[in-house]
Structure 1
Amino acid sequence: MFSLKKFRTIFLFSPLVLVFFITACSDDENKDNVEKIQTILVSVDSDVVYQTVSGFGGANMIWGTDYLTQDEMDLAFGIGEDRLGLSLFRVRLSSNKNDWAGLVNSIKMANERNAKVLASPWSPPAEWKSNNSINGGGYLLEEHYADFVDYINEFIQFMSDHGAIVDVVSIQNEPDWAVSYEGCEYTVDQMFNFVKNHAGNIEGAEVLAAESLNTNHAYTDDILNDATAVNNIDIVGGHLYGGGLTAYPLVYEKSKELWMTEHLMNLDSGNHPENWTEDTDEEVIWDETLDMLEEIHATMTFDWNAYIWWYIRRYYSFLGDGEKGTDRGTILKRGYAFSQYSRFVRPGYQRVDVSSDGGTVLKITAYKGEGNIVIVAINSSEYSSKIIEISVPAEVSSASAFTTSVNHNCQKFDDILTDDKIIVELPGESITTVVLK
């Protein structure tokens, strides 16, 4: 049976089109070439532009006050070596005003690191809900819609008065998910009513809706199709629990952005703690990390503008928290993997066209910004390494590759540019980012 062993890639550049060939060879090229060599043509056209990337990020601790320290913020939002380069920071808009002051410093630290801040409420104050509780099972009473808008505005202004800037506010975290903990439910009609008749009075921040559990378009279709409501939001946001990973052309028809604002993968250890211990095989963790990377790839190809993971600091996340064998204040493998996007595909970069006649051998996206071309390639195959050869156009003065795999942590390869070629190795089950300047 044919087995993919090596890939050779040649990039050919013109002012408009970047083209490269991937050649797949058999396991043993010296065995009389019994198996046919497969050649895959892939082209990157930097003149064909899709969405503008708003960023990649993660969430603050939502409950409690053990927020990220100064050093952890540096690890998370710095863009240098051994930094994650996050550019979006999600926080909780608490239903208790007494919590607000404790959040100020975290938002200020994110502002100082040029991160955009999204504040999401889990519940309005209890007295405005049908069940008189901040917990789920109740909804915001219509006679208090205006009160809640005033509450959101007061939060934004409170933070601003203390030097902390909130860039985006959500209406409600997961309005379509009944929970026993802090939450609030909205029907599709209730969300539409709130946005159309009240969200336009939110001041000082962009407005995001509807953050449904699996980006249920029913929660935002009517909003986007209504001449009044559509002007009261700036961003359509949603989560990817159990679905929702698809294109949403109506968002772009209405000149809005599409953000993925929460997802997590943790080997289901929240419900089954035995699934993740300090002895969990790193290959098992890495396989799930590849699932996360392929999901990010899919959101980009479906024209989403942003991807925000759940907690930044957690044993299953980007920074260790001291549990399940992790050390607090250190970057975890999943963090290095995420940084292959977040560190190099910066806010304002534009995704550009990539086409291939080779099926799904590699999952590739490309971006341009700040004079750079950035190519992100996921090799999820179990087969051995691929070799990429890239011919260098005159306008490229430097090239670097960065790889994360089971054996690499965003490892930089500077010696890939020799004469008129760039040579990059893509290990099996890896993600590699190539930066051309």
Structure 2
Amino acid sequence: MLGKYKSFISKIICISVIFLNHSCSKSEDKIDEKENASVSFVENSLPGGELSSQAGIARILVESQSIEWQITIGDVIEGKEFISSVSPADGGSTDSNEKETQIVSVRYNANSSLYINKQELILSSLDGTIKETIVLSQESILADAIQISLNTNSIYQTISGFGAANGIWGSYLNPSEMELALGMGDDALGLSIFRVRLPSDKNSWAGLVDIIKDANSRGVTVLASPWSPPAAWKTNNSTNGGKGVDGGARLLKEHYQDFANYINEYIEYMASNGAKVDVVSIQNEPDYEVDYEGCEYSVDEMHDFVKNYAGVITGARVVAAESFNTKHSYTDAILNDADAVNNIDIVGGHIYGSGLEPYPLVATKGKELWMTEHLLNLGSGGNPENWTEATGQDVIWDETMDMLNEIHTAMTYNWNAYIWWYARRFYSFLGDGLNGTTPGEILKRGYAMSQYSKFIRPGYVRINATSSSSDVKITAYKGDNKVVYVALNTGNSSYRLVVDNLGSSDTAQSYETSLNKNRESVILQEENGQFNMLIEGKSIMTVVMDME
């Protein structure tokens, strides 16, 4: 960084108005052969110290005689540009020998960084014979310090990834949307898990081949979830769920083996076409009766299917039971059965209404724990008027902070993966053209999700991390010779984060998303073995330190 870090202990404000090339000596400056022509800033009107970190106006006097002048905004000496305008920007006269004094208003923007800003202001005569340059200095923001402590030797779960779903019944993501969602380019989100539908109609399988291959080419894990078995194998003879149907909509016992074979056939079909399915589910939300595509299983039925039939599924890992709010009853029976537990690899669940809590039995049995679906959309599923193109960005950001808090909590509870609902939706990561969004545009919620997905890659391990403030929540990870920590500031105030440099470089990279920032990047410079960075209120920051 250009600016030298300003001590937060010292309360001394140094005068930082500097005169450069000051040339207003009456004996040396002559204008149109007038001995008394002159122009200069009035010294006692100049700021006596650093300007406030808040936006404001500095008023400076310009004294002139027999000369016309102008003021221009000059170069940045340290930090960032902060002078926004000067008014008036010119003045003076050659028609009078009387001295004139003009008040000049210098507007400046707020400084929200930990570093002082310094910028030139240049006063010059229009004939070019006089030039005076001063440097205005602006203080850095004052923020309470929070100590972040990391312990790379204290490890927890391995991360499988962060993801979202393809279009399930509507159109699939197009190639450019796939690049934005799953790519690792500068503008991409880096999602590492891609959830697709396992259709109940074999005629729909072919349409998924190319998009699965696209995900494969990026090293992204593909999860396929069925919403329903084929209609002929169900009690209601329909792919729809059992809402309002006597007896519900269940897979007939005599077709358990058929459906296990069907799942296996789907995996084999994709593989034969060069598309790899990494993980398959038994059923999406078996505990939730719906009037669209769905199928219900009781706890006993799910246990029976997994124990006695799911063993034939090969070529992909198996997840169960994807219940509506991760009901442990659906998977406790499986995990505690010596035979059934061998037929699954992952316990998956959704967190609608509840379900986000520790589940230590999963790790005890050597399985992974995935959150495979959730969404937040201001309740617009029940009332579409809740979210319109007029909805304020501050309202949307507050709910996005709820999503980020969910992810943080899932990580601290040792969940291995977090998968959002649709990747492309007005309340998701990419715009769909509805409710004020632009198709294919990365939305604020996408940038927020990428604070995890882009920097915490599959195979990274969570490490111990603590914060000295309850406002700032911390998780940290290591992998690929990097240490990555994510700070979620749930408070309204900005803070200065202080963390020891655990890496081999004297620089680190921070990325921040807030109401006004979209994964904004800053290179951090080590000072006395530590990195200092400013995190805004209600924002998320990811810091990457190289260990090589």
* TM-score of the pair, normalised by structure 1: 0.89
Report which of the two has the higher share of helix: 1
* Correspondence 1:64-213 to 2 at 5 A: 64=170, 66-137=171-242, 138-213=249-324
**One of 471, 486, 491 as aligned partner of 1:381:** 491
Structure 2 match to 1:17: none
> Does the CA-based 8 Å contact 2:477-2:484 persist in structure 1?
yes
Tell me which of 377, 380, 387 is aligned to 1:276: 387
**Residue number among 493, 497, 508 corresponding to 1:399 in the alignment:** 508
Q: Deviations over 1:160-214 (max 9, x none)?
A: 1111100000000000001011100000000000000001111111000000000
Deviation at 1:397, TM superposition (A): 4.5
Instruction: Write the distance in 1 (CA, Å) between the matches of 2:273 and 2:147.
Output: 55
Q: What amino acid is aligned across from residue 241 of structure 1 in structure 2?
A: Y
Letter of the 1:408 partner, please give it: K
Displacement of 1:357:
5.5
| Paired residues for 1:7-406 under 5 Å | 42-64=148-170, 66-137=171-242, 138-356=249-467, 358=469, 360-383=470-493, 385-393=494-502, 395-406=504-515
In angstroms, what is the RMSD of aligned CA positions? 1.8
Letter of the 1:76 partner, please give it. Answer: A
- Does the aligned pair in 2 maintain the 1:8–1:386 contact within 8 Å? no
Q: Deviations over 1:54-75 (max 9, x none)?
A: 00000000003x1111111111
* TM-score, reference length from structure 2: 0.71
Tell me what 1:15 maps to: none
CA distance in structure 2 between the partners assigned to 1:165 and 1:75 by the alignment: 21
Deviations 1:360-382 (A, max 9, x none): 22111000011111010000112
Indicate how the Cα distance of structure 1 residues 112 and 8 shifts in structure 2: closer, same or farther if over 3 A, else same: farther
CA contact 2:466–2:474 (8 Å) conserved in 1 = no
Q: Which runs of 5+ in 2 are unaligned?
A: 1-6, 10-142, 243-248
Conservation of the 8 A alpha-carbon contact between 1:321 and 1:327: yes
Contact 1:8 1:387 in 2 (8 A): no
- Residue 419 of structure 1 deviates from its aligned partner by 6.7
**1:351 positional shift:** 0.3
Q: Which amino acid aligns with 2:205?
A: W
Amino acid paired to 2:542 = T
Paired AA for residue 79 in structure 1: M
Q: Which has the larger radius of gyration?
A: 2
* Aligned-residue offset at 1:354: 1.8
- The letter for the 1-side match of 2:164 is G
The corresponding residue for 2:542 is: 433
Q: Distance in 1 between matches of 2:177 and 2:330?
A: 36
Displacement of 1:335 in angstroms is: 0.1
Task: Name whichever of 87-96 and 70-79 sits farther off.
Answer: 70-79
Q: Does the aligned pair in 1 maintain the 2:510–2:524 contact within 8 Å? A: no
Query: CA offset at residue 348 of structure 1?
Result: 0.3
Q: For the residues of structure 1 that align with 2:235 and 2:384, how far apart are their CA atoms?
A: 35
Q: State how far apart, in whole Å, the 2-side matches of 1:394 and 1:353 are.
A: 16
Superposition deviation, residue 420 in structure 1: 4.1
Uncovered stretches (5+) of structure 1, i.e. residues with no partner: 1-6, 10-36
Shift of 1:409: 0.2
Deviation readout 1:9-45 (Å, 9 max, x if unpaired): 9xxxxxxxxxxxxxxxxxxxxxxxxxxx987654221
Provide the rounded CA distance (Å) in 1 between the counterparts of 2:234 and 2:214: 33
Q: Contact 2:162/2:417 (CA < 8 Å) preserved in 1?
A: yes
- Aligned pair count reads 401
Q: Indicate conservation of the 8 Å contact 1:8/1:388, yes or no.
A: no
Amino acid at match of 1:111: N
Structure 2: distance between partners of 1:40 and 1:378: 12
